[in-house]
Amino acid sequence: MKGLIRIGNVPGVAVRAHWSVPLIMLLFAYGLAGRTLPAYAPGLAPVVYAIAGVVGALLLLPSLVVHEAAHALMARKAGIPVRDMTLWALGGMTRMDRPTTARAAFAVAISGPLVSLLLGGAAIRGAAGVHAALGWRVPVAMLGWLGGMNLLHPL
């Protein structure tokens, strides 16, 4: 895939991002700041929505990395060599050798979605906790959006 930038490592596995990742993050930030957050917490200054939109979109990036890292780490645990992980606009891809058994293939395949479901649930619980403890609507909406993104698109 062309247009990749190395953004780090996950224990021995290179993590790269396609040029489309910053673009989709910008679109998510714009949607959060322009529609989602003002609808849930009306009446605040536009700069509040803009900052929260950027923070929310940026928080999605680590959840994508963790999802792909789950695939990579499970593959390595099963003895499958992992080449790298690539993030792009529609998610990510972990390049690895072919699993030797159906059991290993299933474990690698299911690990990412399970982690995404856990992250989504944690974000939703975090939103509920912030709402109950502090009543801050913007972080609640941002965490709720992040949780929903992980729960609705775990694959």
Q: How far apart, in whole angstroms, are the C-alpha atoms of residue 83 and residue 95? A: 5
CA distance 142 to 100: 41
Q: Are strands 13-18 and 4-10 parallel, antiparallel or unpaired?
A: antiparallel
Active-site entry in 65, 68, 72, 145: 68
Distance CA 60, CA 57 (A): 5
Active site residue 46: no
Q: Note the maximum CA span of the chain.
A: 57
Task: Give me the helix-helix angle, 46-77 and 137-152, nearest 10°.
Answer: 30
Known catalytic residues are 68
